[in-house]
Amino acid sequence: MIDIWSWISELPELADWTDSDSSHIIELATSKPPGDDFTRTIQLKAERTAGSNLEALVTFTISLQGFHPHNAPKTLWVSDTCPLNSEKPFLPLLLQLLQEIITRSPMAHNTTCPRSQLQKLKPEPISWIMDSHSLESFSSFFNLVFLMRLFWLCVCDAPSEVGSLYFESLLRPNLEAFKCEQNPALRTFLITVGVDAELCFMRTLGYMLTKWLILREVGVGLHVLAPMLDHQVKLSYAMEAHGFWVLKGYAPILAMDLTTSSRNNKFPAIEARDSVLKYALAHQQLEAILQLEYSVSFSEGCIRVKVRVDNLRFHVAKLGFKKNDDADYADERHFVSRARVWVGPEVGATYVVGMSLGRSTDNGEREVEMQSVMKGNYEDSRAPKVKTRARMATRTKMKNWRWDQDAEGNSVIFDAVLYNNTTDHEVATSKMVNNNSGGGNNNGARNRYNGQTRPFTKTRGLVFAGDEYGEGVEWRLNKEMEGSVLKWRIGGQVWVSYWPNEVKSSYFESRCVEWCNEVDLPLITGK
């Protein structure tokens, strides 16, 4: 793995960078196909562009070598000038890379914050990230940012051979940089940059990974890299602020584990129609926000920690650019079919005295209506004639979702499960049953985004509020823990499913992703 930031940091000082040594070059990736006379390379060049020390500037250039006839070089990108004599000479370079990533991201078309209206990033938070993290941490962040910017240049603005070299030699060795827990500077950036820029940034990451995963499924020279994907593309981070624990998770659909499917999940599918459908479905990303509210109170004998669900929000975003992309499949979207959220002390914690749940489950409501009718005929006889008739009616209020609350050790589990109200089967684990090979009625799955009883928002999202899960949970901790800041675990496991909505197809699938992070629990009086 090439460390771009370390190379930039080791460029000559201002006094040592002479006109005779005006440029420095690093090869980012190289290859020499059999029978080819030239070595193909992707290069990064730093060049001093002014002579006076008072106005010494450096410019960075990304170029290709050996991909064109007669080994002619081709320039893909030129940076803005960076002042060598400033306190942070390469801050403009990082800001430019980030801004270009955000403005090119595959945002949803109906978003309330289109790319054209995104304000330019402020330099102060980015400068603070450069100062507050170690060289190793910041290098991982800068390398990831550079890799993302290079994606658009090599895959979209260059010949296909350049894109193949990028995926094989640059993306694969750097997958570790995608993990927030191993990239503290990335986590800090996502927290401080603002949610609008964060969505643009994370959807670019999702789009990059989706293209790589599709190529791997097709088997275009990348199928041998499949083992490198395990547990490396589930992006998430958690934080504590103002009495809230928040976990944000992102997962491209193809990066999620396949749990059920109508057929082998390899591209291309046997039917051309399903192949196009699967390609459209692949360009989607699950985005989740798990927000829990907590409070701490101190009594004479123990410390009480109370936690309740504030908001669980899920959205399956389409990773596309043009409004008419896959127009025939605009209403085909994966949907959340189960969400399992847990929170509790770190494994092996001995300071928990006890835990109390709010309620175990929320059962469906059922109403029973009874009506009796009696008719009598009284005559002048010893045995009067009496006729009776009784009628009973039962009405059931059907709910799409069932909410459960459970415990595992000292952790509480909040579980929301989607049921097919036609078959009463759990959607995430059941198979779609069609009345015919053309798609059938899907047992009530069609038109699931319309009507008063739809279980999702009009934008294909899902929101659970705190009133779905009762009064919350309470832990009692040893009094001796007062004054400390504990590490607690927060995690989530989410299933998404696809059943045909508008198109006629027999294809269906369910996938699952799991995130787990640590958050702070301050046991400080007045906190």
| Confidence (pLDDT) at 342 | 95
What SS3 class is residue 420?
coil
Q: How far is CA 32 from the centre of its chain?
A: 37
Q: What residues have CB less than 8 Å from 220, skipping those under 6 apart?
A: 164
User: How many beta carbons lie within 10 A of that of residue 400, not counting itself?
Assistant: 16
| Confidence (pLDDT) at 410 | 93
Nearest to 216, CA basis, from 232, 204, 202 = 232
| Confidence (pLDDT) at 158 | 86
Q: How far apart are CA 33 and CA 30, in angstroms?
A: 10
- Phi–psi pair at 463, nearest 5 degrees: -135, 125
Q: Which amino acid is at 253?
A: I
User: How many beta carbons lie within 10 A of that of residue 335, not counting itself?
Assistant: 22
The list of the chain residues with pLDDT below 50 reads 221-231, 265, 268-269, 435-442
| Confidence (pLDDT) at 224 | 46
| Confidence (pLDDT) at 517 | 94
Q: What share of the chain is helix, strand, coil (3-state, %, to 5)?
A: 30, 35, 35
| Confidence (pLDDT) at 119 | 63
Written in H, E and C, the secondary structure of 444-502 is HCCCCCCCCCCCCCCCCCEEEEHHHHCCCEEEEEEHHHCCCEEEEEEEEEEEEEECCCC
Q: How far is CA 276 from the centre of its chain?
A: 24
For residues 502, 503, 508 and 509, what is the CA-based torsion angle, rounded to 10 degrees?
Answer: -70
Q: How far apart are CA 316 and CA 497, in angstroms?
A: 11
For 207, counting Cβ atoms within 10 Å of its Cβ (0-12 exposed, 13-18 middle, 19+ buried), the class is buried
| Confidence (pLDDT) at 290 | 96
What Rg value do the Cα atoms of the chain yield, rounded?
A: 29
